[in-house]
Structures are given as structure tokens and as C-alpha cells.
Structure 1
Amino acid sequence: MHLIYIDDSGDEELSIFSALTIRADRWNSCLEKIKNFRRNIQTSDGIFIHAEFHAWKFVSGRGKIADNVVSKGRRCQIFKQTLQMVAMLPGARLFNAVFPTKASGHAYEALLEGINRTLQTWDSHAILICDEGKDAIYTRLVRRMQTLKNGAIDRILEDPFFKQSDQSYFIQLSDFCAYALLRREHPIESKTRYGLDQAFNLLEPISEGIIRPDS
């Protein structure tokens, strides 16, 4: 059994989804590693343990994440350290989809189909936990895919569950992964100067690949 945390990132051209997949029997140990990481950066940088990590705000120097100032350069370092931590979560895997912005619905559908195929090879099932915002759209899409004759997503159980991102470390990490992929696909100078165009490479140890329209 797996828990799959999905969030997205994008711009005027690209829609990107990342799905952080956690084995149910390793969930507690993954959460403890995340908490330890947050404690460590609280000690080193004063960052609040429960501060929400929203990727583009985080690396852009926005939002109050500590009583002290955490520079943009340091935030980008922490961003990359966070990805390194994600890549070391026990049993974690990462699925990704990159589509044109106008085809974001197709991106979500292709992501779920890819996840379902892998779950079949793992002989496992999963539930989806997504960031709030498009609840009705994604629920309808999942239900439609579950009722197709060919069982397009027969390994995904129930409707997606939706949580506020500030209430889930795992959704925040999925957001970091999606944003890292966005910056690799569409580098911008203001972030490339801090190496964010290469940050997604830190996730290669857990990556199940990138789904694209021509995949």
C-alpha cells in the first residue's frame, strides 16, 4: 500500500505535476526524517518548524519563515538540501509529468496512468492526497478513469483526498519537487544564478521518470 502526495507547478507555457510516493509501512519513518530535517534548519537558520514551504515563495525570499532574515541565497541552498533529504526518504519514489499549460488535465491523467502501471508491477494499491484548489475537477477525472472498461487506474483507491498544503509536510515536498522540475525545464536567470536549474537532478535516485505528451 502506498500514499501518493501530488502537487503542481507551472508558468504560462508548462504544467508540471510531481507525485511523491511513500510506502505505508515506511510512512512513520519518513515523517520522522522530515521532522528531524526541519528541526535541524530551525537550529541552523531559525526557520519555524511549522512554516509552510511553498517553493516559489521560498526561493524568492517571500514569506516570514523565521524571526530573523534568511537571505535568498541561503533559501536556495536550503531548497536544494530539502531535495537531497527527499531523495533519501526510505522507500520513496517520485513520478512527474510535464505538459503544455493548456493540457494540464491531460497531464494529471497521464500521471495517474503512469502511476497505476507501476503499482501493477509493484502489486500494490494507493490513495491520492492532493493540495486543495481543484478538488471537483480532479475528483471527476479520477472517477471517470476508475470506471473505464480497461480499468485505467484500477490500483488507485477511492476519490483523491485533499489537504491544505500548510497542513502537510509531504504535499509541501511535492511542491518543491514540481518547482525544481519547472526550473530545469524553464530556467530563468534569477534562479539559475543559485543553481536551481540543476536542482531537480538531486532527485534522480528516486525518480520514476518524466511523463510527457509524446511518452
Structure 2
Amino acid sequence: MQIMYVDESGDNGCSKYGSQHYILSGIVVSEDDWQESLNRMKAFRKHLKDTYGLLIRTELHAAELIRVGKIEEYKKIHKSQRINILKEFVRQIPIIFNNAVIINIVLNKNNFPKETNFQELAWARLIQRFDTYLKKMHKGRGIIVSDDCQDANIRKLLRKMRVYNPTPSHYEGFYNVPVDNIIEDIFMRSSQHSMFIQAADFVAHTLYRKEFPKGSLKKFGLDKIFDELESILLKKASRNDPLGIVRK
């Protein structure tokens, strides 16, 4: 069994006040590696407590480490140290999940019609790539665990794709490839209670920082930290991108 933990960056709307992007990142972990990955995660959290005084029960949230909003405990830690926590976590992800793969979807909204449903499009691409990975790599069945901000439309999308999933042919037209290696609906969990979803949040956020760098944060090297994940990126997810990022 393979478990994909998913989180997002950006919003799925087209409001002029919204983000330019919508990103989904999924970390795929085998059930055989799950306990050992959890043990390594716990050891890393203990390191953060010993080094920065960050309580183990405190949620790790990439955007909040950069600019504190709701997480009061972060206010006790200097910004430079919070940035260090962010960088350390990203560098640890390939070690914590040493046998995992990461699938990334990046939609730049400027490249699509305004009426595009970015959430549905991104999820369709992520589900397709995960199912293809399960089929072609002979990984058996899989489940998806996501931050609980998703809505019923994604549940309906997965159910629909189990019956009808048109896939472009290498020659012409489309052919139907039903999604049949992913079992059950998507399981929704609060990221506060899942260290693995928190890891997916850091993947998605640092990918955002790489794709849409902000000048004021370049001095911290946040536009480069995503590259630390290269060794476990599923590059076969897209032939058109050197890091396997799906963009359309």
C-alpha cells in the first residue's frame, strides 16, 4: 500500500486579490516505510525542541514561519531562526522519507482561461500521476490523505475518474484510462495532527518560492531551498520538466 500525503499552496480562485498560482504537492510513502519515517520525524522534532525551543506538538507551517499569523509560539522565535527551521525541515525531508517520491502540480493562472477550475484541474493531474505511478511501478494500491480544506467536489472528481479518465494518446485523440489503483475516497485530516501533511506543506510552499520568488526573501535563499528535494522528486510525472513538475 502506498499513501500519498497532500497539501496545497495558493488559492483556487481567480479573484484579483488571489494568488497567481495554485500548487499541489504529494509525498508518496509506502506502508512498509511508514513507521520508520515517523520515527525519524519524531527525532527531528525533538532536535527542533532542543535547538529552538519549539514544542513538539506545535504545527510546522511554512508560510507562518516566514510571516507569523495564527501560531503564537512562533512569535517567541526570531525570524532568522524560523527561516533556519524551514530550511532544516526541507533538507531533512529526503532523509525522513528516504524511499518516498514527491509529485508536484504547478498551475500559473496567467496561462489558463479565467473560467478554469484550478482546484479540479490540479487534483485531476495529481490523481492521474499517482495512479500511473502505482500501475507502472507495480506498487499495488494506494490511498490519498489530504489537509481537510478540500471540498466535496474533489470526492466527486475521484469517483468520476474511476469510470472515465480521458488521457491524450501519443498518436491522436484520447483513450480512457480509469483510475483503479486508488482505493476509497480521499481521507481528510487536519494538518495540525499530521506531521506528514505538514511535510507536504513545506514542499508546496518552497516550490511556490522557487516558481514565484519574492525579492525581499531572496537574501534568505528561499528561492533555492526546494532544490534540496530533487533526489526524491518523481521526475517521470512530466517529460517536459527537468524536475517532473506538471504545469498544464
TM-score (ref. length: structure 2): 0.81
Aligned to 1:122: 137
Letter in 1 for 2:148: E
Matches within 5 A, 1:65-84: 65=73, 69-84=76-91
Query: Among residues 124, 127, 131, which one is paired with 2:147 in the alignment?
Result: 131
Is the Cα–Cα contact under 8 Å of residues 210 and 222 in structure 2 kept in the other structure?
yes
Whether the 8 Å CA contact 1:135–1:162 is kept in 2: the answer is no
Name the % identity: 30
| 1:51 matches 2:58 | yes
Tell me: higher relative CO, structure 1 or 2? Use CA pairs within 8 A at least 6 residues apart.
1
Whether 1:3 and 2:18 are equivalent positions in the alignment is no
Q: Unaligned 5+ residue runs, structure 1?
A: none
Shift, 1:90, TM fit: 2.8
Aligned residue for 1:203, secondary structure, equals helix
Structure 2 gaps, min length 5? 11-17, 110-115, 166-175, 235-243
Larger displacement relative to structure 2 (131-140 or 154-163): 131-140
Output the amino acid matched with 1:45: Y
Cα deviation 1:22-70 (Å, max 9, x = unaligned) = 010000000000000000110011001010112111222442236x821
Give the aligned residue type for 2:149.
G
Root-mean-square deviation (CA, aligned residues, Å) is 1.5
Match of 1:32 among 3, 27, 39: 39
Q: Whose helix proportion is higher, 1 or 2?
A: 1
- Contact 2:7–2:200 (CA<8 Å) still a contact in 1? yes
Say whether residues 1:98 and 2:106 are aligned partners: yes
Contact 1:61–1:75 (Cα < 8 Å) also in 2: no
Provide the C-alpha distance between the structure 1 equivalents of 2:211 and 2:189, rounded to a whole number of angstroms.
27
The 1-side partners of 2:62 and 2:42 are apart by: 18
How do 1:149-164 residues align onto structure 2 when only pairs under 5 Å count?
Answer: 150-164=176-190
Pairwise CA distance, 1:100: 3.1
TM-score by length of 1: 0.93
Q: C-alpha displacement at 1:109, in angstroms?
A: 0.6
CA distance in 2, matches of 1:47, 1:64: 11
Q: Does 1:178 align with 2:204?
A: yes
- Say if 2:3 and 2:30, in contact at 8 Å, map to a contact too: yes
